[in-house]
């Protein structure tokens, strides 16, 4: 028996990183998975890999910042599998031109907020009614440790967007708790993913981030997937409105560099 047997999960950003690892793990635990990504090819690759392993999955291309696309991806889950029980709003961007308030352009701010904050809002807007109609379930929103601390390497748009995700998560958790819909935020620490490694593109930047992590290493996408599985499953049945920090200890030991 899998921990997600007879569940339907929709995961955005499923083409790579945390999303792909989570899609693979959720499917292995019995879920039918809707693999959503802006890059249709990567979504198809994830879904195909799941099917080759004996699981159930479909691929859907969607821009999470588009209301029409967000509605369509949820509808695809319902049309294909008849329900939706788990909504993992994971898609996000970290732009290389995101810096301090003075240097970050309005265009980069708007793009980042549209994907990282508005994208989560739209996923909840259309996903929560579907989960409620399916008898309840779990919403997981990917935030970040930087929403708690601020980043040593400036990225104001990203940090602000993840702070918005935390606030949104808290409010939706309260609003929907009585309806059997749990809403939690997964807050990863620094990860060895393509997204972060592209942003921390020098040894100096990597060192500035790692020096604050007590475990002394970047986290792995598969470690975040296992934490997301916990939040998706009945193992977390009394947890809602939480900020689930999976960060190697960085928020317990952060010291502003001199």
Distance CA 151, CA 78 (A): 39
255: pLDDT strictly greater than 50: no
Q: 19: domain CATH number?
A: 3.40.50.720
2 and 54 Cβ atoms separated by less than 8 Å: no
- Asked if residue 204 belongs to a domain, the reply is no
Confidence of residue 252 (pLDDT cuts 50, 70, 90): confident
Tell me the β-bridge partners of 142: 186
Of the listed ranges 22-36, 87-101, 160-174, 199-213, the one predicted with least confidence: 199-213
Catalytic residue IDs: 158
Distance CA 247, CA 154 (A): 18
128 and 139 Cβ atoms separated by less than 8 Å: yes
Total number of domains in the chain: 1
pLDDT score of 126: 98
Tell me the β-bridge partners of 88: 11, 140
Distance of alpha carbon 160 from its chain centroid, rounded?
Answer: 16
SS3 state at 223:
helix
- Asked if residue 82 belongs to a domain, the reply is yes
218: pLDDT strictly greater than 90: no
pLDDT score of 258: 43
Question: If you count them, how many residues does the chain have?
Answer: 258
Which bin fits 238, alpha (ψ -120 to 50), beta or left (φ > 0)?
alpha
133: pLDDT strictly greater than 70: yes
- Asked if residue 91 belongs to a domain, the reply is yes
- Asked if residue 2 belongs to a domain, the reply is no
pLDDT score of 211: 73
Range of the domain at 145: 8-190+221-240
- Asked if residue 226 belongs to a domain, the reply is yes
The pTM for the full model equals 0.93
- Asked if residue 247 belongs to a domain, the reply is no
């Amino acid at each position: 028996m899998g921990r997600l047997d007879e569940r339907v999960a929709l995961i955005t950003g499923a083409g790579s990183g945390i999303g792909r690892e989570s899609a693979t793990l959720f499917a292995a635990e019995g879920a039918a998975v809707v693999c959503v990504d802006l890059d249709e090819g990567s979504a198809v690759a994830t879904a195909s890999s799941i099917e080759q392993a004996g699981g159930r999955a479909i691929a859907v291309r969607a821009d999470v910042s588009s209301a029409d696309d967000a509605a369509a991806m949820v509808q695809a889950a319902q049309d294909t599998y008849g329900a939706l029980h788990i909504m993992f709003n994971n898609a996000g961007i970290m732009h290389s031109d995101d810096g301090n308030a003075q240097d970050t352009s309005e265009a980069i701010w708007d793009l980042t907020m549209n994907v990282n904050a508005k994208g989560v809002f739209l996923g909840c807007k259309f996903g929560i009614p579907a989960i409620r109609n399916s008898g309840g379930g779990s919403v997981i929103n990917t935030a970040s440790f930087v929403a708690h601390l601020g980043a040593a390497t400036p990225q104001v748009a990203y940090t602000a967007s993840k702070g918005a995700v935390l606030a949104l998560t808290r409010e939706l958790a309260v609003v929907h708790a009585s309806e059997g819909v749990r809403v939690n935020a997964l807050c990863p620490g620094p990860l060895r993913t393509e997204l972060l490694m592209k942003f921390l593109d020098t040894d100096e930047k990597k060192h500035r981030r790692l020096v604050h992590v007590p475990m002394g290493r970047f986290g792995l996408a598969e470690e975040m997937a296992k934490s997301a599985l916990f939040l998706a499953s009945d193992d977390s049945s009394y947890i809602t409105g939480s900020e689930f920090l999976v960060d190697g200890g960085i928020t317990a030991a952060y010291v502003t560099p001199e």
